[in-house]
Structure 1
């Protein structure tokens, strides 16, 4: 009996081992912190597909996108599913290395009405390739220290009414407390560049590829940011630097304008001891803009495309997955129905028990579906360089923008 039992046990273990090895391995490449959403979703995906082992490969933001650039160029070490930050979607799509999800068997255009319109649009290249579906978005917001504003007699309306009012408030704050209003004047430039746009328009290029950087929008952006620097309201520190984080911790910098996800970073690691002092408001001047966003794509060289598509849909259109990422990771959903969850209406303790998520949702509904171009990062790099010359060297704004147009056009011709 013991011998038979052992044989039976061995057979059972052997079958289990064979079943385990028979599992299909789905490889997902991601970056910090998007990888946390994948990790949280894997147990839920396993319930639906116990026959699939999800292998997550995670790298830092820069290392991941560099690795994916190399993988697409060489066709080696390609994952089945690729997580991407919005800035890389158009570039990779135009490179021809990603599946066009608008085409059969994916037919992803049937799903796009479920996402905020700007998020869906940014997953499509100018040539019409739907390269990726959105997972999370970053509705733009002005985060400010209410305790510091109260001491200086500054209201939220003073900060949001107009750029003139915003700069005036910064001067008042600086005079009364020595506190800088913003880390760097470039934030103002970046926001105004995204103002006044309509669905289908691009930030740097029109629909025929012509360069737009000498338009009144760019002149206003440069001039307003230059005025903020002259007013002495920016601390001249770059985002994500040690000085940037310390400014928020110590209260020497009173605001930042970024995506809604910044609230989670402030709470979790940048300035957790400032809980309750921060508030979220709309961007100055009524601008509705987006900061960042995460997407999922399928490389043409993927080995398990059908399963990859199943996983992409699971991460982007499954309401439970989207809400879990929102609750646990502060990843604002791209899926509209996930933002109808009661969680959106709950007060945010870190932001003084205000219902900030309602504001972020309202902003997301108004953000235009701006076109993205694979050369947007090139144009942004040139504009940043010329803007630095305006601030640091006193270069004339219109001359800087004319030089920017010439530089961008030279890069395009290459």
Structure 2
């Protein structure tokens, strides 16, 4: 048995290294209705194989420093009304809190926007016929780069790169960030080591513009080479479909359960001490039910890397949006054959 992070599901799905759990003797499809709707499609390959059982999810959330917003006279609702509103009010927050940053890296906004607002069954980078969606004619990608560039040009971001980079960690630990976007699981890191000196000063709300997105999640799969497939399946079933076990995993690691019934445990109605007692778990539970299942494509990791390079080129000013997306389209088309 092995645990698989969502970011690697497409890679694993490419080969035949994992057992197809949709087939006998596993017949994992029978449990589908027990789980948050968007989880199963994440573990399915284009040819219908199921390579993992969902165990935890990352409903997306906007975390913000209540004290910094208050000092600027900016309401949380104004911050997440739209991305444009986020930028305009973000300028006020930074003006009132010298030396702070609105967001660790402007590129984050682009990554959220391309994943938010998709309809059920749509892919991030490819449609059902494997056509590349990254293009200067696709409003989703144009908006993603436009907003990211506006954040960078207004000097609102810390230019910290990706999550868990050294600069990202430092900005959190120093308390220099006014907001961050992530999965519900980030609170566990914040309270334990990332921003433990700022307990009670952070709160959570939904993503800007009334959108919903997922930050990762984990799955359990069975390697095709495994000598103990029956035992592995019994353990996977216990870890994923047993309500008490899913609640225990949440209490110990903050891993938000993929099993719907687990999220109805009384612990989810309790306040989160780190978030000043806010009942944020109710917010995340509702968000999880609104996130749409996305189509996973085996070439997603390649497209992800190429789009990431396009974002970097736009942010550093070496390419305009149209050029960056045109070149990304060509590169992805060439490499996804």
> What's the TM-score once normalised by structure 1's chain length?
0.79
The alignment partner of 2:59 has SS state of: strand
Q: Which of the residues 83, 92, 99 maps onto 1:172? A: 92
Shift of 1:120: 1.5
The alignment partner of 2:311 has SS state of: helix
Mapped contact 1:159–1:166 kept (Cα < 8 A): yes
Structure 2 gap segments, 5+ residues each: none
The alignment partner of 1:117 has SS state of: coil
1:319-370 Cα distance to aligned partner (Å, 9 max, x none): 1110001111100000000000001000001001000000000100000011
Query: What is the aligned partner in structure 1 of residue 289 from structure 2?
Result: 365
Q: Which of the residues 43, 47, 56 maps onto 1:127? A: 47
Query: What is the aligned partner in structure 1 of residue 118 from structure 2?
Result: 197
Query: What is the aligned partner in structure 2 of residue 181 from structure 1?
Result: 102
Mapped contact 1:149–1:173 kept (Cα < 8 A): yes
CA distance in 2, matches of 1:188, 1:410: 27
1:83 aligns with 2:7: no
Mapped contact 2:134–2:141 kept (Cα < 8 A): yes
Alignment of 1:3-152 (within 5 A): 81-152=1-72
Shift of 1:246: 2.2
CA distance in 2, matches of 1:250, 1:387: 27
Query: What is the aligned partner in structure 2 of residue 227 from structure 1?
Result: 150
1:254-299 Cα distance to aligned partner (Å, 9 max, x none): 1110100001100011011111000011011111000010100011
Mapped contact 1:248–1:254 kept (Cα < 8 A): no
1:293 aligns with 2:217: yes
Give every structure 1 segment of 4 or more consecutive aligned residues whose post-TM-superposition deviation is greater than 6 Å: none
CA distance in 1, matches of 2:302, 2:281: 33
The alignment partner of 2:38 has SS state of: helix
Query: What is the aligned partner in structure 1 of residue 267 from structure 2?
Result: 343
Mapped contact 1:296–1:312 kept (Cα < 8 A): yes
> What's the TM-score once normalised by structure 2's chain length?
0.97
The alignment partner of 1:393 has SS state of: coil
Shift of 1:90: 2.3
1:210 aligns with 2:134: no
CA distance in 2, matches of 1:252, 1:98: 43
CA distance in 1, matches of 2:96, 2:271: 31
Structure 1 gap segments, 5+ residues each: 1-80
The alignment partner of 2:155 has SS state of: coil
When the two chains are superposed, the root-mean-square deviation of aligned CA atoms in Å is: 1.0
CA distance in 1, matches of 2:73, 2:47: 51
Mapped contact 1:91–1:373 kept (Cα < 8 A): no
CA distance in 2, matches of 1:393, 1:218: 17
